[in-house]
Amino acid sequence: MATTAPSAPAAPRRRSLGSGALRRLARNPRAVFGALVLALLIVAAIFADQLSPHPPNVQNLRNRLQPPSAEHLLGTDQFGRDILSRIIHGGRISLQVGFLSVGIALVIGGLMGVLAAYYGGWLDSLFMGLVDVLLALPAFLLALAIVAALGPSLTNVMIAVGIANIPSFARITRSAALSVRELDYVAAAKAAGSSDLRIMFKHIIPNALSPVIVQVTLSLAGAILAAAGLSFLGLGAQPPTPEWGSMLNAARPFIRQAHWAVTFPGLAIVVTVLALNLVGDALRDILDPRMRGSR
């Protein structure tokens, strides 16, 4: 009788880095709080038109500077506009500015870092020299100078904040790519005749993402804060756009008479930046093996 050979035991499933990171993230109460706040902000930004109790730009001078009430949960501003509705729509603008500006910095700075690390030589010197020039000015002052040159608008704020964040992404990506470039599988890919683009996009970039993910989260908080600061100075979103920084600037003369017109937009900025920082700190502790070892 023919006998069948016993089948080889199945190899144990290896837990992916992503699933393990999510489990460790779920055990961190500060990270869970930050993630829940971010989820609520994103949902509110997506469904701002449905969630807002009043149109954000409709004025009613009879109800100007009214304190919080059942009709206007967070009160009204100097033009009688509902502050809660403007904060909800302002969250959409702030998240849009944050994601787009960080996306600009990630694409440009990330490509600069990878190219500098992979090719080295004069290209590395050129890119890192440009990064050093950009780092000579604080990021906010650099963004302020760019917006002043381009003109006040929300689009120019995104460009300016994105350019100001390029140096941090270029340096972090270069550092991570330098360590990955020396690994054996990259040398094997070169020996197999893989093109430079294939090696960079298939082997180097995917394995250098951990510090970049952390930097994205932390840079989002800085970008939202910088955009609000520029709008507060009158260089960002222009009236009647419901942006948190411009709301603070417009309500500043009435801070003693109607403090809620300043308090609630300021709290929106604080809570959003705090949530992003909590998630970023937790991701740094999880994805950085040196931080995991010290815990």
Tokens of 74: 């967070």
Average pLDDT over residues 153-171: 91
Q: Which residue shows structure tokens 């550092």?
A: 175
- Determine what percent of the chain is predicted with pLDDT higher than 90: 40
Write down the mean pLDDT value for the chain: 84
Residue 279 falls within a domain, yes or no? yes
Residue 238 falls within a domain, yes or no? yes
Q: Are 88 and 52 in contact (CB under 8 A)?
A: yes
Tokens of 120: 């080295």
* Rounded to 5°, angle at Cα 203 from 199 and 209: 130
Tell me the residue range of the domain where 220 lies.
79-293
Residue 278 falls within a domain, yes or no? yes
Tokens of 32: 């869970």
Residue 47 falls within a domain, yes or no? no
Residue 199 falls within a domain, yes or no? yes
pLDDT in tens, 95-108: 999 999 999 999 99
User: What's the CATH code of the domain at 193?
Assistant: 1.10.3720.10
Residue 224 falls within a domain, yes or no? yes
pLDDT of residue 239: 81
pLDDT above 50: residue 230: yes
pLDDT in tens, 13-48: 434 445 666 677 777 788 889 899 999 999 999 999
Residue 39 falls within a domain, yes or no? no
- Based on the structure, what is the number of domains in the chain? 1
Rounded CA gap, 269 and 94, in Å? Answer: 9
pLDDT of residue 223: 92
Residue 103 falls within a domain, yes or no? yes
